[in-house]
Amino acid sequence: MPTSEDFTVKTLGECRFPSPLNFPEELYVSEHTRIRFAAEIPNEIGSDEELAFEKAGPRKNIFFDPNETKAAIVTCGGISPGLNDVIRSIVMQMYYKYGVKNLLGIRFGYKGLNPANWLEPIKLTPNDVERIHELGGTVLGSSRGHEAPEVMVDTLEKLHINVLFCIGGDGTLRGADVIWQEVERRGLPISIIGIPKTIDNDIGYVAKTFGFDTAVAEARHALQCAHVEAKGAQNGIGLVKVMGRDSGFIAAHATLANLDVNFTLIPEVAFDLHGKGGFLDALEQRIRKRHHAVIIVAEGAGQEFFQEDARKDASGNILHNDIGILLRDEIQTYFKTKNIPITLKYIDPSYIIRSVAANASDSIFCAHLGRYAVHAAMAGRTDMLVGRWHDEFTHVPIPITVSTRKKISTSSALWLSVLESTGQPVSLKSVGC
């Protein structure tokens, strides 16, 4: 269980410079304002300590002198809707609000912090980023993989970087924490600020990550197509696979947004393929009764049906086997043995989903994240990321964030809503013949 110390954000030192924002007093956030971690009141009276996040927002005094500050932005991992929106927000906030004119973009992820890769950083100005929010992907490029922290910090020193904004998911944040450890070892006044990015929405201690809303909207379109295909044929089945390596948030939310889904399969809920009460048995009952079905499956579901292997990508994430292809083949084989003709359409929109530009909801969210990240950096916060909790923006220490991965609880209102929407059995585990 976390402690209050786990929620303590590191700072570089005393904030000696008055903020150039010139806001009214009430718009600045006090150093002592906190956002409670728990929303529910516990049954026990008199808890030993109350866990709370530091509230994000502009401070009246800041650590860095804007005239002497130089910042850099790096985007890492898989691409996601909203990356360019965050880049633009950071540049605009630093340049126009804080008066920081020296801004660099690190190219192709952490690789760009290793001179051996010959990736020169690019200068970023408002003119350079003015329209990038209309584009998918990241104008800086991205990559997976590790670089030696000593080399990366050497580069930060050589470039005279005071603030490094690291935009990415779990692997990126772990890398940011490693960079900070080397910065701290050298006693350097460099702020390391994370902005959590993953369409899977699986970052711990963060209510939502950017890109998720757009991913759900795009997945919904795929489900609509799957439903049309399924209804257009006798015994039609539409099968859609979406991203969700360890957490099924996209599948769950797309199900609730679509309302035509009959089975939602996620990594958090184990199921059996065969046997009475298993998935294929339940699907057969659905086909016999309604003559069509729509299925959505998260990529990390059903991995127990494959032989174990230790394959990992460059970021250290386990490479899952393709549950979509397995389900497609198992469904076709099952109904063939039952002598029930079906028409199955398999749709995998994964890379289309993550490549599009952010929708309106994500664009708004990304702009907020960029601005709050700048406020945190200029106030000398470090080894932290900007999150949102109870509809408030927060400072979250990176170590506690990467200590866990957010998953759907089977006792949550979210999963209950999925079960009620789909009508699927509470359990798809076989009860035997």
CATH of the domain at 164: 3.40.50.450
The Cα 390–Cα 36 span in angstroms is 8
Residue 373 has pLDDT above 80, yes or no: yes
User: For residue 45, what pLDDT is reported?
Assistant: 53
The Cα 120–Cα 112 span in angstroms is 7
- For residue 35, is it within any domain? yes
User: For residue 309, what pLDDT is reported?
Assistant: 62
Identify whether residues 172 and 218 lie together within a single domain: no
Residue 41 known to bind ligand: no
pLDDT in tens, 326-354: 999 999 999 999 999 999 999 999 888 99
Helix 212-231 and helix 360-378, axial crossing angle in degrees, nearest 10: 160
CB 296 within 8 A of CB 263: yes
Entry pTM: 0.92
Identify whether residues 306 and 418 lie together within a single domain: yes
Residue 145 known to bind ligand: yes
Residue 378 known to bind ligand: no
Identify whether residues 351 and 362 lie together within a single domain: no
Residue 26 has pLDDT above 90, yes or no: yes
- For residue 428, is it within any domain? no
Residue 13 known to bind ligand: no
Identify whether residues 122 and 155 lie together within a single domain: yes
Identify whether residues 55 and 124 lie together within a single domain: yes
Number of domains in the chain: 2
Residue 204 known to bind ligand: no
User: For residue 415, what pLDDT is reported?
Assistant: 97
Residue 92 known to bind ligand: no
pLDDT in tens, 55-109: 999 999 999 999 999 999 999 999 999 999 999 999 999 999 999 999 999 999 9
User: For residue 79, what pLDDT is reported?
Assistant: 92
Identify whether residues 379 and 242 lie together within a single domain: no
User: For residue 303, what pLDDT is reported?
Assistant: 93
- For residue 377, is it within any domain? yes
Residue 37 has pLDDT above 60, yes or no: yes
Marked catalytic residue, from 85, 177, 200, 272? 200
Residue 105 known to bind ligand: no
Mean pLDDT value of segment 185-202: 96
The Cα 93–Cα 251 span in angstroms is 34
- For residue 102, is it within any domain? yes
218: pLDDT confidence band, cut at 50, 70 and 90? Answer: very high
Residue 354 known to bind ligand: yes
- For residue 241, is it within any domain? yes
User: For residue 39, what pLDDT is reported?
Assistant: 82
Residue 370 known to bind ligand: no
Residue 422 has pLDDT above 90, yes or no: yes
Percent of the chain exceeding pLDDT 70 equals: 95
Rounded to whole angstroms, what are the CA distances from 160 to 76, 153, 189? 21, 10, 11
Q: Is 200 a catalytic residue?
A: yes
Residue 433 has pLDDT above 90, yes or no: no
User: For residue 48, what pLDDT is reported?
Assistant: 47
Identify whether residues 52 and 192 lie together within a single domain: yes
E-strand stretches of 245-330: 263-265, 292-298
Chain-wide mean pLDDT for the chain?
94
Residue 323 has pLDDT above 60, yes or no: yes
Identify whether residues 107 and 248 lie together within a single domain: no
User: For residue 44, what pLDDT is reported?
Assistant: 59
- For residue 431, is it within any domain? no
Write out the residue range of the structural domain in which residue 301 sits: 213-355+410-422
pLDDT: which is higher, 272 or 317 = 272
Residue 229 has pLDDT above 60, yes or no: yes
pLDDT in tens, 384-393: 999 999 999 9
User: For residue 315, what pLDDT is reported?
Assistant: 52
Residue 351 known to bind ligand: yes
DSSP for 342-383, please give it: -EEEEE--HHHHHHSPP-HHHHHHHHHHHHHHHHHHHTTEES
Instruction: Give the bridge partners for 53, in sequence order.
Output: 35
- For residue 331, is it within any domain? yes
pLDDT in tens, 288-314: 999 999 999 999 999 999 876 656 555
280: left (phi over 0), alpha (psi -120 to 50) or beta: alpha
User: For residue 432, what pLDDT is reported?
Assistant: 63
- For residue 432, is it within any domain? no
Cβ neighbours of 21 (radius 10 Å): 17
Identify whether residues 122 and 231 lie together within a single domain: no
Identify whether residues 162 and 45 lie together within a single domain: yes
Identify whether residues 55 and 148 lie together within a single domain: yes
pLDDT in tens, 153-184: 999 999 999 999 999 999 999 999 999 999 99
Identify whether residues 152 and 263 lie together within a single domain: no
